[in-house]
Amino acid sequence: MKLDYLTIYNTKLTVYKTKLIVYKAKLTIYKANVSKLKSALLFALLCWFTSSAYANPPQLTQFIAGKIQAAQALQQQERYGDAIELLTELTPRQAYDQAFVQRVLGIFHWQQENTDQAVKYLTLAVESQLLPTEQTWMTQRMVADILLSQQKYQQALPHYYVLVNKKISSIKLKEFTELWLRIAQTHYQLREWDKVLIAVRSYEGINTQGDQVQALNLQLTAQSQLQRWPAAIDTLDRIIAVEPDKLLWWQQLAGLQLRVSQPQAALTTLILAQRQGLELSVQEYRTLAQLYAQQGIPEQAARELGLLAANITDNDERQKLLAEQAQYWQMAKEWNKAIDTWRDVIALSTGDAAEYRWLLAQLLLQQGHYELALLELNHHQIKQGKSNKEQAAIELAKVRSYYKLEQFDRAITHAKLAQYLSPSASAKGWLKYLQQVRKIHS
């Protein structure tokens, strides 16, 4: 039986690439939560206003503080347009007042999804360099996140790199790990695979939470795109350790192991997936069976397909599986099981079963079941669609059967028919021999 692993792998790879493309959707998950993020930022800003820091902010004039409070009150009443208009009309004389107003305006515009205006005002606040260090850092992150949410990847990246290179004691390490992940995601969108790997390494260098599938999936994609198969296999091993119940990872691992000619490893992977309680697809069961056969265990290959076929309700699909199972039983030299399975295959046929009858007839003949072989060889279906040469082969099989049953006249008749359909040395040899035998027995 031909084991076409390249075809199997190409099929897997197509599914794999499709699955990887889906990862792009994961990048935008935070968009769904963007309103929550905005609300959280606004809440933090309100708390900042009412804290002691707001009661005596550095260089913030009382007039501007009052206007900001008034805009804040309008915002709480969901009068966003009025709040923005109030702050836009201000002409602060103090540079710090202006920077602070720009930051608040940027946040209000962001909440209203006026992203261009949000980026404009937040960028002005950052470039002023007048806000406290932590506030400048957080404002620049807002700019980067807005640009990323708008798929302006090239514009977002410089902001993220500035952020990760600023070490501020008050900023938690978790913030920096999130930033490196965002950088990796952004390079992913730009298909800059080497830079994805560099960003993920930086992420892992400071991550204290153990392996995270989101980062590893980015790494896996980059390694696959760069055709770094051994590294991709190592990454999949790490992913599976975190998410062993997700069939996709096992599928991809087995596919890559086949890609690098590691059939034994691929077999182990599929067996472990089974033991994990995961439900393999029909194609994966076939792959599993082929791998068992290649490793010299065709009887297990046959058993796997038998279990699968028992749960298949589609007759055509079940017939194909049983035909494969019969071939594995033959490879295992389990002749009786092979014969029984070929009969099951024929029983499921709703049309032409010539191919299967011919295979069954040859097996019956091999095992010395000559009368049973003749029942198949003489069936009206067996020659359907066959060439003269193929029909001659069937006639020669009948010759052998009749010879074994010592029905020499019939054997000679079919030998002549074989020679007529497709002259051959075999048919000619049988004729000469049978005529001599008939003389001896006459």
pLDDT tens sequence across 365-420: 999 999 999 999 999 889 888 999 999 999 999 999 999 999 999 999 999 999 99
Three-state DSSP class for residue 190:
coil
pLDDT at 42: 52
> Contact, 143 vs 122, CB < 8 A?
yes
Per-residue pLDDT of 15-26, as tens digits, reads: 444 344 444 434
Over 371-420, what HEC string results?
Answer: HHHHHHHCCCCCCCCCCHHHHHHHHHHHHHHHHHCCCHHHHHHHHHHHHH
Other Cβ atoms within 10 Å of 263 Cβ, number: 17
Cα separation values, 81 from 75, 106, 110, 159, Å: 8, 13, 12, 28
Q: Based on DSSP, count helices (H) and strands (E) in the chain, helices before strands.
A: 25, 0
What lies within 8 Å, CB to CB, of 391 at 6+ separation is 383, 421, 422
pLDDT at 38: 52
Per-residue pLDDT of 190-232, as tens digits, reads: 999 999 999 999 999 999 888 899 999 999 999 999 999 999 9
Q: Which of 167, 196, 194, 174 is nearest to 183 (CA)?
A: 196
Per-residue pLDDT of 42-83, as tens digits, reads: 545 544 443 434 434 467 788 988 888 888 888 888 888 888
Q: Which of 202, 221, 116, 129 is nearest to 164 (CA)?
A: 202
Residue corresponding to tokens 């995961």: 278
User: pTM here?
Assistant: 0.77
Q: Which of 374, 246, 255, 298 is nearest to 1 (CA)?
A: 298
User: Is residue 7 scored above 70 in pLDDT?
Assistant: no
Handedness of CA 68, 103, 130, 203 (dihedral sign): positive
- Assign residue 138 a region (left: φ > 0; alpha: ψ between -120 and 50; beta: otherwise): alpha
Q: Which of 44, 97, 39 is nearest to 67 (CA)?
A: 97
Which residue blocks in 129-228 are alpha helix, DSSP H?
133-149, 153-164, 173-189, 193-206, 213-225
Mean pLDDT of 140-168: 94
166-169-170-173 Cα dihedral, nearest 10 degrees:
80
User: Is residue 12 scored above 80 in pLDDT?
Assistant: no
Q: Which of 168, 163, 152 is nearest to 199 (CA)?
A: 163
What lies within 8 Å, CB to CB, of 436 at 6+ separation is none
Give me the amino acid identity at 178: E
Q: Which of 420, 258, 261 is nearest to 270 (CA)?
A: 258
